Amino acid sequence: MKARLVLRFPPLLVDQPVVYKLIKDYNLVFNILRADITPDSEGLMVLEIEGDENDFKQGLEYLEKRGVKVQPLSQDVVMIEELCTHCGACVVHCPTGALYYDEERRVLFASEKCVACEICVEICPYRAMEVRLE
Amino acid sequence: MRERTIEEINEKIKKGTVVVLTAEEVIEMAKEEGYAKAAEKVDVVTTGTFGPMCSSGIIINFGHPVPRIKKSRVWLNDVPAYGGLAAVDLYLGATAIPENDPANTNYPGEFKYGGGHVIEDLVSGKDILLYAEGYGTDCYPRKELETYININTINEVILFNPRNCYQNYNVAVNLSNRTIYTYMGVLKPNLGNANYCSAGQLSPLLKDPLYETIGVGTRIFLGGGIGYVAWWGTQHSPAVPRNELGIPKVPAGTLALIGDLKQMSPKWLRGASIRGYGVSLAVGVGIPIPILNEEIFRRASASDEEITAPVVDYSDAYPNRKSEILAEVTYAQLKSGEIEVLGKKVPTASLSSYYKAKEIATILKNWIKEGKFLLTKPVEPLPGPESGMKTKPCEIRKPYTEEL
Ligand code: SF4
Ligand code: SF4
């Protein structure tokens, strides 16, 4: 199975290799979509995790035991296609390549790559990118 | 080749035998067949552009109420318009914002709604709240008016844009160490990105760089309807450095455009909220270039590799009007996604939509092929490079103070 999760680390956990354990002990493959970790404060990470269902469950239990708060990524950024002018002002600002040009220079949105950072929502002059709460 | 006249081309349009290519298609053809041979075949090249054009606005005559009013101040959906013309005429500019908009007091401002959005809403057929104040006269006694109007209830609504279709434009970068919010978009610090705003090889004035066919009176695609070149645009500055083809290397010519908003569509007139800068209106414009001779064809088939733009720092050089150009890059480089500035690789972004520009050039091509759009000969040419005309700066003169 595969899921996008938001992990919140308590300050004392920030410099411990919790995420590393997920690979080593639970065979989980993951992609870091966003990481915001500063010493002395809560850390935030958005991960896309993939693995066997059992490993997945145990991995999450392990995280929760260590004090990491785990939530599914509950916020989605969507493209309202009829509002998009395909200018491309957002493309250069999207940190994950979720917004990109095709060969026709049309701007497309690959939602599976989006980490809901909302940068494009701020940047798009035509309000074509919108935050949707699930 | 034998020279063509506009009349001949129009005859072909009426007969349905005209050969029209978009400014992108013609590049390919010229490469394959050579300029001379291709020029023989092509009668018209269509161009297009779609991007924020701040110097745009509408003239409205909203009709006379009972009793009549001579409004002096007027608002549309809370956005202030200019009321200093007659009784019920007004001009609404694209960049106007409501007086209570927080603007950049909560920097970078969002600029959610302004003149550009009113224009988009009006052309979409939505009701707009009109509020007007007058001082009252014997012939116009009413002092206040509040009513909804829409595109069908008003007499005229004329899109009149004092400056559109900039011939070439700066590529904006940021040399400072903080993010800046400009009309050229959000610029990340330390050359984080480079933003440009031209359709390059599809852009009207880049394909007729010496204004050989586009002039006062030229019929064009404007906002989805038919419009005209009214005059040269404000800040028209033809006397600038140009390349061998006569294509300017820096912002140069501009056009003032006019047309009936009632024919237009919200698809091609879009209000824009530019973070930290303000409101604007994205305008779709398409201009046909009649191929009267081989030179005109050669220039109309210039490609992105042959057109360059200057890279300018918007953290200092632009706001302080310093003429420093950091680099000269081609539109081909800009479209590749990365340019080099001061030895650094900088990712590029566009504010004008190439995709929409191409769509406009294609629509105009089809209009001409279907016989719905005839070409015009300019009533008056635009001032060209030989005119020596250049934009003047505003030199600040201190107000007169009497010496004691
Ligand atoms: S900035 Fe907005 S309009 Fe432009 S390509 Fe991105 S989503 Fe589309
Ligand atoms: S929110 Fe926008 S900028 Fe951020 S990752 Fe998603 S698409 Fe990219």
Q: What is the CATH number of the domain that holds A67?
A: 3.30.70.260
What's the token pair of residue B404?
Answer: 């004691």
Q: A117: CA distance to ligand 2 center in Å?
A: 5
Of A91-100, B271-280, B296-305, the one with minimum mean pLDDT is A91-100
pLDDT band at A13 (very low <50, low <70, confident <90, very high): low
Q: What is the predicted pLDDT for the residue at A39?
A: 60
Pairing of strands B194-196, B344-350: parallel
Report the alpha-carbon distance of residue A86 to residue B393 in Å, rounded.
34
Of B1-5, B167-171, B202-206, the one with minimum mean pLDDT is B1-5
For B351-385, how does the pLDDT look when each residue is reduced to its tens digit (9 = 90+)?
999 999 999 999 999 999 999 999 999 999 999 99
Q: Do residues A38 and A98 both lie within one domain?
A: no
> CA torsion sign, B83 to B84 to B85 to B86?
positive
Q: Do residues A82 and A122 both lie within one domain?
A: yes
Nearest ligand (C-alpha, residue A110): 2
Chain mean position to CA B18: 28
Q: What is the mean pLDDT of chain B?
A: 97
- Indicate the Cα dihedral angle A48, A52, A55, A60, nearest 10°: 30
Q: Which residues of A touch B280 (CB under 8 A)?
A: 125
pLDDT band at B208 (very low <50, low <70, confident <90, very high): very high
* Nearest residue in chain B measured CA to CA from A90: B349
Q: Which residues of A touch B270 (CB under 8 A)?
A: 85, 126
Beta bridge mates, A46: A6, A34
Question: Residue A116: is its pLDDT beyond 90?
Answer: no
Q: Do residues A69 and A81 both lie within one domain?
A: no
Assess if residue B395 is contained within a domain.
no
Amino acid at B376: T
Q: Which of B363, B361, B377, B369 is nearest to B46 (CA)?
A: B361
Q: Do residues A34 and A60 both lie within one domain?
A: yes
Mean pLDDT of A50-62: 86
pLDDT band at A57 (very low <50, low <70, confident <90, very high): confident
Alpha helices (runs of H) in B269-353, residue ranges in sequence order? 294-300, 331-335
Q: Residue B201 — φ and ψ, nearest 5°? A: -65, -5
Instruction: Name the residue among B270, B275, B350 with its Cβ closest to that of A123.
Output: B275
Q: What is the predicted pLDDT for the residue at A82?
A: 95
3-state secondary structure of B29: helix
- Tell me which residue has its CA closest to atom 8 in ligand 1: A84
Cα within 13 Å of Cα(B294), Cβ side: 9
Q: Domain holding A116: CATH number? A: 3.30.70.20
Q: Do residues A86 and A99 both lie within one domain?
A: yes
Question: Residue A73: is its pLDDT beyond 80?
Answer: no
Q: What is the predicted pLDDT for the residue at B403?
A: 63
Domain containing residue A43: 2-74
Q: Do residues A70 and A118 both lie within one domain?
A: no
Neighbours of B12 (CB within 10 A): 18
Nearest chain B Cα distance for residue A60, angstroms = 37
* Nearest residue in chain B measured CA to CA from A82: B267
Q: Which of B156, B134, B140, B122 is nearest to B84 (CA)?
A: B134
Instruction: Name the residue among A87, A104, A106 with its Cβ closest to that of B351.
Output: A87
Ligand 2 contact via A124 beta carbon (within 6 Å):
no
For B127-170, how does the pLDDT look when each residue is reduced to its tens digit (9 = 90+)?
999 999 999 999 999 999 999 999 999 999 999 999 999 999 99
What's the token pair of residue B308?
Answer: 């360059």
pLDDT band at B188 (very low <50, low <70, confident <90, very high): very high
Nearest chain A Cα distance for residue B382, angstroms = 30
Give Cα separations from B185 to A39, B193, B240, B355, B390 (angstroms).
33, 10, 26, 19, 26
Report the alpha-carbon distance of residue A95 to residue B84 in Å, rounded.
48
For B257-270, how does the pLDDT look when each residue is reduced to its tens digit (9 = 90+)?
999 999 999 999 99
Ligand 2 contact via A77 beta carbon (within 6 Å):
yes
Judged on CB neighbours under 10 Å (0-12, 13-18, 19+), B74 is buried
Assess if residue B307 is contained within a domain.
yes
Question: Residue B402: is its pLDDT beyond 80?
Answer: no
3-state secondary structure of B141: coil
For B210-255, how does the pLDDT look when each residue is reduced to its tens digit (9 = 90+)?
999 999 999 999 999 999 999 999 999 999 999 999 999 999 999 9
Residues 6+ apart with CB under 8 A from B396: none
Question: Residue B301: is its pLDDT beyond 80?
Answer: yes
Q: Which residues of B touch A122 (CB under 8 A)?
A: 186, 275
pLDDT band at A109 (very low <50, low <70, confident <90, very high): very high
Mean pLDDT of A108-133: 90
Beta bridge mates, B90: B60
The more confidently predicted of residues A8 and A77 is A77
Domain containing residue B254: 6-46+162-265+293-381
Ligand 1 contact via A98 beta carbon (within 6 Å):
no
Q: What is the number of domains present in chain B?
A: 1
* Nearest residue in chain A measured CA to CA from B279: A125
Q: Do residues A24 and A68 both lie within one domain?
A: yes
Assess if residue B276 is contained within a domain.
no
pLDDT band at B48 (very low <50, low <70, confident <90, very high): very high
Report the alpha-carbon distance of residue B21 to residue B37 in Å, rounded.
15
Q: Identify the contact set of chain B against chain A, taking CB-CB distances under 8 A.
A: 50-52, 185-186, 188, 193, 195, 270-275, 280, 282, 335, 337, 347-356, 358
Please give the positions of B annotated as active site: 139
Of A30, A50, A74, the one marking the end of a domain is A74
Residue labelled with tokens 């007659």? B86
Q: A51: CA distance to ligand 1 center in Å?
A: 34
3-state secondary structure of B140: coil
Question: Residue B22: is its pLDDT beyond 90?
Answer: yes
Residue labelled with tokens 């005109």? B296
Judged on CB neighbours under 10 Å (0-12, 13-18, 19+), B110 is middle
Beta bridge mates, B161: B257
What's the token pair of residue B324?
Answer: 């420093």
Q: B351: CA distance to ligand 1 center in Å?
A: 9
Q: Which residues of A touch B52 (CB under 8 A)?
A: 125
Q: Which of B349, B5, B27 is nearest to A86 (CA)?
A: B349
Question: Residue A93: is its pLDDT beyond 90?
Answer: yes
Q: What is the predicted pLDDT for the residue at A38?
A: 65
Mean pLDDT of A86-90: 96
Q: What is the predicted pLDDT for the residue at B258?
A: 98
Q: What is the predicted pLDDT for the residue at B144?
A: 98
Mean pLDDT of A33-39: 71
Q: Do residues A88 and A37 both lie within one domain?
A: no
In this complex, do B270 and A85 lie within 8 Å of one another by their Cβ atoms? yes
Q: Do residues A64 and A7 both lie within one domain?
A: yes
Q: Do residues A25 and A63 both lie within one domain?
A: yes
In ligand 2, the atom with minimum distance to the C-alpha of A77 is 1
Q: What is the predicted pLDDT for the residue at A14?
A: 59
Report the alpha-carbon distance of residue A67 to residue B1 in Å, rounded.
80
Assess if residue B140 is contained within a domain.
no
Q: What is the number of domains present in chain A?
A: 2
Nearest chain B Cα distance for residue A10, angstroms = 30
Q: Do residues A70 and A81 both lie within one domain?
A: no
Cα within 13 Å of Cα(B363), Cβ side: 21
- Tell me which residue has its CA closest to atom 2 in ligand 2: A120
Please tell me the pTM assigned to this model. 0.89
In this complex, do B355 and A105 lie within 8 Å of one another by their Cβ atoms? yes
Q: What is the predicted pLDDT for the residue at A45?
A: 81
Nearest chain A Cα distance for residue B274, angstroms = 5
Question: Residue B277: is its pLDDT beyond 80?
Answer: yes
In this complex, do A126 and B347 lie within 8 Å of one another by their Cβ atoms? no
Residues 6+ apart with CB under 8 A from B392: none
Q: What is the predicted pLDDT for the residue at B132?
A: 98
Q: What is the mean pLDDT of chain A?
A: 84
Q: A84: CA distance to ligand 1 center in Å?
A: 5
Whether residue B312 contacts residue B171, with contact meaning beta carbons closer than 8 Å, is answered with yes
Report the alpha-carbon distance of residue B318 to residue B172 in Å, rounded.
9
pLDDT band at A74 (very low <50, low <70, confident <90, very high): low
- Tell me which residue has its CA closest to atom 6 in ligand 2: A114
Q: B256: CA distance to ligand 1 center in Å?
A: 27
Q: What is the predicted pLDDT for the residue at A15?
A: 63
Percentage of the residues of chain B whose pLDDT score is greater than 70 = 99
pLDDT band at A40 (very low <50, low <70, confident <90, very high): low
